[in-house]
């Protein structure tokens, strides 16, 4: 079963959260659109810029592979650093097609590579690429395929949770323009979903926002209390929300405001049509999602 969609509608963090919450195993393909990621309009010519394949096992990220001239496989990294002899590399290449465990785990069991070397490869090929994705890739297509073959030859045997990757990647983001519509509103409050932030290590400002996320203070008031910009607290709130630590509690709307918005929509055919198109895309995605979950259940 495969699940497809667009990053303009579902962010990397939301996709990662879906995979981890379901403890899914499969391959997530991310095809980035260069022109859209650089801020060009849909009418401009498009060129595919980056392509990533993230392998998940039980909701954990095992490997990240890229497509391009500068791509270096796990074995090429080992070869370039001369950690194995040319003869050993040649033998390994002949065994890759039948490999049924992470290549790093296999090499470590033979005592030809150590944990520190595997950590180096994991940081350079997995952590670095994940950070690059969150910083640079905001538009394009994605596909999650539970039947895609797992590339054991690209795995070190190390892994990290999708939540850890999401938190780490979102911390590095400078341009939030593509996620503005997904940020919690300044007048909303944040409510914790657990007693402790289990499974992740929060930075100081994240921890401060977490402590105040008891559903009493609006985000703008939390920002004032901590001496931070409201936009920064909104971004932190989004990070904590996307990894399941808090949820947004929207401020109650007045009846007059709701009626006013209703009239505005009813006399604006352009806005109504845009809303209908968006709803159609969401319905299609949710339909695929429900079918996907039923088959996995």
Confidence of residue 24 (pLDDT cuts 50, 70, 90): very high
Residue 219: inside a domain, yes or no?
yes
The 3-state secondary structure of 150-179 reads CCHHHCCCCCEEHHHHHHHHHHHCCCCHHH
Rounded to a whole number of angstroms, the distance between the first and last alpha carbons of the chain is 13
C-alpha–C-alpha distance, residues 83 and 121, integer Å: 12
Task: Specify the pTM.
Answer: 0.76
* Number of structural domains in the chain: 3
Which domain, by its residues, includes 196? 183-249
- Contacts of residue 255, defined as CB under 8 A and 6 or more positions apart, other chains included, come to none
241 plus 291 within the same structural domain: no
Provide long-range contacts, Cβ within 8 A and 24+ apart, for 116-123.
117/78, 117/83, 118/156, 118/157, 118/158, 119/158, 121/74, 121/77, 121/78, 121/156, 122/156, 122/158
Residue 12 is assigned to a structural domain of this protein: yes
178 assigned to some structural domain: no
- C-alpha 234/C-alpha 79 separation (Å) is 45
Q: Give DSSP secondary structure letters for 262-296.
A: HHHHHT-HHHHHHHHHHHHHHHHHHHHHHHHHHHH
Contact 45, 56 (CB under 8 A): no
DSSP H/E element including 54: strand 48-57
Q: Does position 102 have pLDDT exceeding 90, yes or no? A: yes
Is residue 271 very low, low, confident or very high in pLDDT (cuts 50, 70, 90)? Answer: very low
> For residue 147, is pLDDT > 60?
yes
Question: What does the pLDDT look like over 196-223, one tens digit per residue?
Answer: 988 889 999 999 999 999 999 999 999 9
Considering the domain architecture, whether residues 31 and 121 belong to the same structural domain is answered as: yes
């Amino acid at each position: 079963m495969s699940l497809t969609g667009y990053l303009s509608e579902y962010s990397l963090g939301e996709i990662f959260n879906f995979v981890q919450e379901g403890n899914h195993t499969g391959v997530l393909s991310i095809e980035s659109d260069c022109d859209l990621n650089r801020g060009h309009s849909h009418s401009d010519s498009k060129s595919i810029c980056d392509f990533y394949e993230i392998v998940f096992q039980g909701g954990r990220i095992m490997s990240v592979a890229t497509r391009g001239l500068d791509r270096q496989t796990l074995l090429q990294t080992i070869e370039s650093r001369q950690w194995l002899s040319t003869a050993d590399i040649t033998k390994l290449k002949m065994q890759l097609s039948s490999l049924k465990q992470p290549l790093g785990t296999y090499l470590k069991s033979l005592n030809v590579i150590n944990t520190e070397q595997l950590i180096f490869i994991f940081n350079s090929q997995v952590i670095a690429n994940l950070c690059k994705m969150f910083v640079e890739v905001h538009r394009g297509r994605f596909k999650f395929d539970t039947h895609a073959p797992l590339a054991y030859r690209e795995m070190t045997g190390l892994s990290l949770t999708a939540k850890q990757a999401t938190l780490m990647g979102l911390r590095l983001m400078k341009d939030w323009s593509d996620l503005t519509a997904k940020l919690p509103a300044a007048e909303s409050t944040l409510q914790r979903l657990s007693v402790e932030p289990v499974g992740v290590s929060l930075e100081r400002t994240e921890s401060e926002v977490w402590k105040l996320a008891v559903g009493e203070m609006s985000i703008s008031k939390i920002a004032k209390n901590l001496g931070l910009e409201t936009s920064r607290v909104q971004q932190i709130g989004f990070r904590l929300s996307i990894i399941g630590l808090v949820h947004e509690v929207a401020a109650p709307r007045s009846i007059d405001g709701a009626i006013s918005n209703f009239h505005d929509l009813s006399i604006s055919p352009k806005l109504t049509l845009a809303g209908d198109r968006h709803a159609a895309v969401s319905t299609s995605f949710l339909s695929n999602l429900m079918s996907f979950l039923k088959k996995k259940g």
